[in-house]
Structure 1
Amino acid sequence: MATTAAEDEQAGNRGEVRRPALSPSRASDFKQCPLLYRFRAVDRLPEVPTKAQLRGTLVHSVLERLFALPGPERLPARARELLAPAWSQLSDQRPEWAELFAGEGEEQVRSWLSSAEKLLDSYFALEDPRRLEPEACELHVEIELGSGVLLRGYVDRLDVAPTGEIRVVDYKTGAAPREIGEAKAMFQMKFYAVVLWRLRGIVPRQLKLMYLTDGQSLAYTPDEPELRRFERTLEAIWEAILRAGRTGDFRPNPGRLCDWCAHQARCPSFGGTPPPYPGWPEPDAGDETPLDRAD
């Protein structure tokens, strides 16, 4: 099943109950640190976003709006014009995001918006959107594998050639260590490749990562045997999550990314104590947030 982000949000607003599912961000969390997965997916502890994360979310929103325009209008100046209204809408939807700028003057906010402009300029240096007609942007995809594992996620952009070949495009604006961030990003892209392969019966021709901070692209071509192996990896991750969910045994796994973790104060590896285990969440522990998609 594939829906737009707006359609999926409407379903959530109607209170529709969905089965627990595995998303690329939550699967990556569990691989990195089972306790981090628990904090985010089970306890659902709040995390204060950074301005860099908000900037990434804003840039994703602008690029989605840009591709909604007629091709000839997709110009750098037009993209810059979309920044302020896009931020106004995002901050209205999530007032707590705007609170990060409380006490700051207009100059600081303009400087932050200017840093988002630089990411957009970097995007235009990588490709010309006037020459592209994506099938979808911010596409929600969902598939149940033969094993019963439900996969769910959002694709930044899906390009489909007249010949039927599929390209999956993902924009990266974060600043995680390159080797770690690249590995997590490729895990995410293979996740989408498996979902689209099972939905459409076509192995994506290309997985393309666009790094807007440094103006570089990374393209990868998967094949069917590789996706079969990766599908088994996802099934194994979900089984491990369910085992931990039954017992509450989500163990910390200290590593280099602990410096970026918002939950060190609750982590035993740093002298903290997790809250009491609340039990496996219902109805769903697999959703990604806009901040996840802006990594």
Structure 2
Amino acid sequence: MEIFNSSILYIHKPSNSNIGAGDLTPYEICKDMPAALIFYLILQFINLFLGIPANLMVLWLLHKNKGDSSTSDIFILHLAVLDTFFCLIPPLEFANKVFLTISSTWYVLRFFYGVKDSSPLFLSCICLDRYMAVLHPITFTELKDRSHRTVCTAVVWLFTLAYAVAKCVDNIPNFEKAFVVMLLSAFAFMLFCNVAILHALRQSGPGRDEMHPVKKRAFKMVLIILAIIVFNYFPSVALFPFQERFSQDEFVCFVYPIAFAFLDISSSIQPILYLSREKIPDVFCCCPKDQGSGNATNPS
């Protein structure tokens, strides 16, 4: 019997048409090459135990430093909320991929997957904000009241929830192509913004030790976004458009779980990279050197 006859058996977003009582679990389907699926599940549990506290710490720091906040903080805050939400699913996902064959849990998982699929949109908003700050500072200053950022955030969430519901229902033909298009578009946009920012910063004052605070903040943010793009998103961008070059077994049991493993671990890497540029309060440190220097401040 041909068991790889639908995109539903793709490890990360199975369709309700192929999962039901009596069917094989994803782990059983890939029993001859389970390494990639195991790797994927390991990274998902890293998200559970590392991503949740890291994202909660980001939310706490953003709240504590709201008097000295960046214009991009509203996007970082909502990205941390999204990632915290996604990091809750590993126990259900592990059970569903290894033990369960019922279709009802896939509805929940597909909704979570749909929410995570839209995270590049918030990263794109951060890139756009930094792009405007560096290359169009006058316009950026005029729009610094943040009202348009709130509107942008609301639009992204509306799209995210609509996308997640559509993915959960799973009654749209070839819907998985929407994710590929969104990922490729966001990747190209973020790459353009970051390359333009780096070029502008390099041209703004070569050889100078001091950098304008806005540009210094932008430069740090660009490094974070570039690290996320290269490590988390490039594998999917490089592999998904060439699905036809892989056998169906290879794509389902190796390419898909590996690509989504790198995509999903961004829920831990994004907050860690953000925290790496922040001064963490002594309350989170094991051996504080100075009890009077525990306030978290924005270094820029």
Instruction: Verify same fold: TM over 0.5.
Output: no
Normalization by structure 2: what TM-score? 0.27
Larger Rg: 2
Normalization by structure 1: what TM-score? 0.27
Q: Hey, which of these two has a bigger chunk of strand by percent?
A: 1
